[in-house]
Amino acid sequence: MTDSWWKKSVVYQIYPRSFADADGDGMGDLRGIIDHLDHLAELGVDVLWLSPVYPSPQDDNGYDISDYQDIEPLFGTLEIFDELLAGAHARNMKIIMDLVVNHSSDEHPWFQESRSSKDNPKRDWYWWRPARPGMDSGTPGAEPTNWGSVFGGPAWEHDEKTGEYYLHLFSKKQPDLNWENPEVRQAVHAMMRWWLDRGVDGFRMDVINMISKDVSLPDGRLNAGSAYADGSAAFIGGPRLHEFLQEMHREVFAGRDGLLTVGEMPGVTVDEARLHTDPERGEVDMVFQFDHVWVDRGPDPWLLVPLQLTALKAILGRWQAGLADVGWNSLYWNNHDQPRVVSRFGDDSPAHRAASAKMLGTVLHLHRGTPYVYQGEELGMTNHPFGGIDEFRDIEALGQYRQAVELEGRTPEEVLRVLRARGRDNARTPMQWDDSPHGGFTTGTPWLPVNPNHTEINARAQRADPESVFHYYRRLIELRKTEPAVADGDFTMLLPHDERLYAFTRRLGATELLVIGNFSGVEARAEIDGWEGAELVLTNLERPAAGLTLQPWQAVVYRRAV
C-alpha cells in the first residue's frame, strides 16, 4: 500500500434516498447531493461514502442490487453521477461507493439465470441446496440448515421451479453469491475496476466478512426462545476470507494510488482486524467493526440495555490497544443502520442536545482511527418519534417484528419499545436542511416523514450560528488537519472505572492531548494530575471553572508539551 492519507481524513456518509430530493418525487437523488456539496466542503470532510445508488428493487433500500454498473433511475443517471464525482473532486473530496457483493438482488440477471435450471452455467453462482435429507422439499423444517436470516424468518427460500433452496443471509430478495466460484470473483473484480476507471476513489464493502462460508453449511446454535438458529459461526470470517480479500486487492487495487477500502465486518475480532488491515498483507485499509455499537445489546434482543460507560470504554480501549502498532480502524457512532447517537448515548432533550452531540463527536474523533460522520450527525439530529409498526419502513424492523410477535410470543409493545429506540429508520428520516415543511428535503411527499424537530434542528440555522453543532464539528475536523497528534498520536485510556467521564490522552513526540467527555447530566471532576496551565484547545461549553471539573455533557481537549 502506498500512502495512508486516510489517517488524516474524515469520511461523511450519504444515504442518498434521505439526503436531498431535487426532483420533488419524495426520494433523495444525485442531483440533490450535487446541490449540497458546498455544505460538505464547508464542514471539511475529505471522503464521501455513498450508500448504494445502483439499480435496485429497493427491498433493502438499495442493498439489493440488480445491476452493478448503472445508476438507479430514482437517483439519476451515470452522466449525473459523473457530474457529482467531478463536483466532489473539484472541492477536494473523494467518493467511495458501497460495494454490496455478499449478495445481489434476486432480480439481478445473474440470479435470474441461476434459478432458471439446475444445469444453467450460473447455477453455482449462488448457494443452492436440496431439502434436508429425509424431508420433502418445501415442507416446514426442510430447509438445508436451521439458520435464521438477519431480517427474520429462515435464511433459505424454497424455489418451486427446481425444488431446491437458495441461501439468503438477509432478505429473500438478497440471495448470497457463491464466492467459491472463481467466475463470481472475476465478475466482481471486473465490475470494481470499471468503477475505479470511471474515477471513483474506493469502496466501502458491505458485510464483506461474510463472503467466505464453511462449505459444509453446518446447523447453527438455537438460542432459547428463538425460532431460528444463529448460523454465523459458518459465515463470519470464513475459511477463505483472507484469501478472497488478498486476491481482490491484487486484481483490483494493486498499482492504483489514492484509494480507500473499508471492510464492513460485523463480529470481526481485534486479532482478525489486525490481519485484515496490516498494509503488508494487502487486504483492506480499515475495518468497520461493531463491538461498541453492540454495547447496549443483551442476550435478549427485545430488552433495552442502558449504556454502561465503563463497558464502552473497555471495548473501544481494547480496539485502540489491539491496532496500536499495526492496522487501522474506522470510528463511528452513527450510520444508516444505527439509531441517532445523541438519543442513544447522549441526552436529546432541548437543554442538553447540542452539548451532548458535541461531546460525543469530540470523544469519537479524537480516538486513533478515521472518523465517520453520518448525514445529520453534524447537526445533532435525533431519533424520530415513531408510533406503531405501520410507521416503520425498514425491512429489518418489519421482519423482526413479525418473527418476534407472530412466532416467538412477544408483545407488540415490548418489540416496539426496542424498535423506537434502536430501529434503523431513526437514521433514515430525511436530512433537515431548513425549517420549511419537510425540512427543505423535498417539495413533494417524503418517503419517510421528516422529524418534526426540523423547525429547531436544521442546517440553515446551524450554518448561521457559530456556536452550533455544525460549526463545532467543523472545528473538530479542522483539528485533525492542524494537530498531528490527532491522526498519528498514540492512545492511552484513563479512568477506566469511571461511569461518567470518558478520558484519554494522545501523544506524538513532545505533544500530548488530554480529552475528557462527561457522559452524564451531573457535574463531574476528573482526578488527573499534571494538566494545570495546559492550553485548552477545544470545549463545547464555557471553560471549566476550576481544574478538570466538567459540567453536564461537557467535553474538553487540552494540549501540553511533554
Can 206 be counted among the known catalytic residues? yes
Whole-number Å distance between alpha carbons of 160 and 482: 61
Concerning whether 264 is annotated as a catalytic residue, the answer is yes
SS (H, E, C) 485-498: HHHHCEEEEECCCC
Determine the Cα–Cα distance for residues 206 and 557; give it in Å rounded to an integer.
34
Under the binding rule (CB under 6 A), the answer on residue 207 touching ligand NOJ is yes
Joined together, the cell numbers standing for residue 387 give 408510533
208: which 3 cell numbers?
464483506
Nearest to 480 by CA among 43, 22, 17, 18: 43
Q: Which candidate in 59, 72, 247, 264 is catalytic?
A: 264
The alpha carbon of 315 is separated from its chain's Cα centroid by a whole number of angstroms, namely 17
**DSSP string over 547-559:** TTEEPTT-EEEEE
Question: Given its phi and psi angles, is residue 260 left (phi above 0), alpha (psi -120 to 50 degrees) or beta?
Answer: beta
Which of 337, 483 has the CB closer to ligand NOJ?
Answer: 337
Which residues between 111 and 170 bind ligand NOJ (CB under 6 A)?
170
Choose between 15 and 433: whose C-beta lies nearer to ligand NOJ: 15
Which CB sits closer to ligand NOJ, 63 or 228?
63
Task: Tell me the three cell numbers of residue 293.
Answer: 455499537
Nearer to ligand NOJ, 362 or 383 (CB): 383
Nearer to ligand NOJ, 286 or 479 (CB): 286
Q: Could you tell me if 212 and 241 are in contact, meaning their C-beta atoms sit under 8 angstroms apart?
A: yes
Check residue 515 for interaction with ligand NOJ (CB under 6 A): no
What is the 8-class DSSP label of residue 130? Answer: P
CA distances from 282 to 1, 77, 243, 245 (A): 7, 33, 10, 8
To ligand NOJ, the closest distance from the beta carbon of 19 in angstroms equals: 15
Looking at the Cβ atoms of 104 and 382, the one nearer to ligand NOJ is 104
CA angle 14, 63, 20 (to 5 degrees): 30
94-113 binders of ligand NOJ (CB under 6 A):
100
Give the nearest distance from C-beta 421 to ligand NOJ in angstroms. 18
Q: Give the nearest distance from C-beta 206 to ligand NOJ in angstroms.
A: 5
Q: Tell me whether strands 535-539 and 11-14 are parallel, antiparallel or unpaired.
A: unpaired
Largest Cα–Cα distance of the chain, in whole Å?
Answer: 77
Strand segments (E) across 76-161: 94-99, 128-129, 156-158
Shortest distance, position 20 Cβ to ligand NOJ, whole Å: 20
Cα 32 to Cα 17: distance, rounded to the nearest angstrom = 10
Among 6, 19, 54, 63, binds ligand NOJ (CB under 6 A): 63
Compare residues 137 and 232 and give the one whose CB is closer to ligand NOJ: 232
Task: Write down the least CB distance from residue 101 to ligand NOJ, Å.
Answer: 10
Sign for the pseudo-dihedral over CA of 126, 130, 136, 142: negative
Strand order in the sheet with 501-508: 490-494, 501-508, 511-518, 555-561, 535-539
Give 539's contacts (C-beta < 8 A, 6+ positions apart): 554, 555, 556, 557
- Residue 88 grid cell: 466532489
In angstroms, what is the minimal distance from the CB of 313 to ligand NOJ?
Answer: 25
The answer to whether 206 contacts ligand NOJ (rule: CB under 6 A) is: yes
Using alpha carbons, select from 370, 290, 409, 395 the residue that is nearest to residue 338: 290
Q: Min. distance of Cβ 225 from ligand NOJ in angstroms?
A: 24
Distance CA 28, CA 22 (A): 7
Cα 459 to Cα 42: distance, rounded to the nearest angstrom: 12
Question: Measured from the CB atom, is 72 or 337 closer to ligand NOJ?
Answer: 337
* DSSP three-state, residue 326: coil
Binding-residue total with ligand NOJ (CB under 6 A): 8
- Min separation Cβ 384 and ligand NOJ, Å: 17
**Helix, strand, or coil (residue 467):** coil
Least gap, CB of 99 to ligand NOJ (angstroms): 11
Residue nearest to ligand NOJ (CB): 63
Contacting ligand NOJ (CB under 6 A), which of 21, 59, 60, 272?
Answer: 60
Q: Which is nearer to ligand NOJ, 95 or 548 (CB)?
A: 95
Residue closer to ligand NOJ, measured from CB, 49 or 81: 49
Residue 484: CB minimum distance to ligand NOJ, A: 32
User: Which member of 72, 206, 285, 425 is catalytic?
Assistant: 206
- 3-state DSSP assignment of residue 17: helix
Q: Which of 414, 368, 363, 365 is nearest to 389 (CA)?
A: 414
Work out how close the CB of 164 gets to ligand NOJ at its nearest, in angstroms, rounded to a whole number: 23
By beta-carbon proximity to ligand NOJ, the closer residue of 207 and 295 is 207
Distances (CA, A) of 48 to 98, 179, 372: 11, 28, 10
| Number of residues that make up the chain | 562
337 binds ligand NOJ (CB under 6 A): yes
Q: What are the residue numbers of the active site? A: 206, 264
Residues that bind ligand NOJ (CB under 6 A): 60, 63, 100, 170, 206-207, 336-337
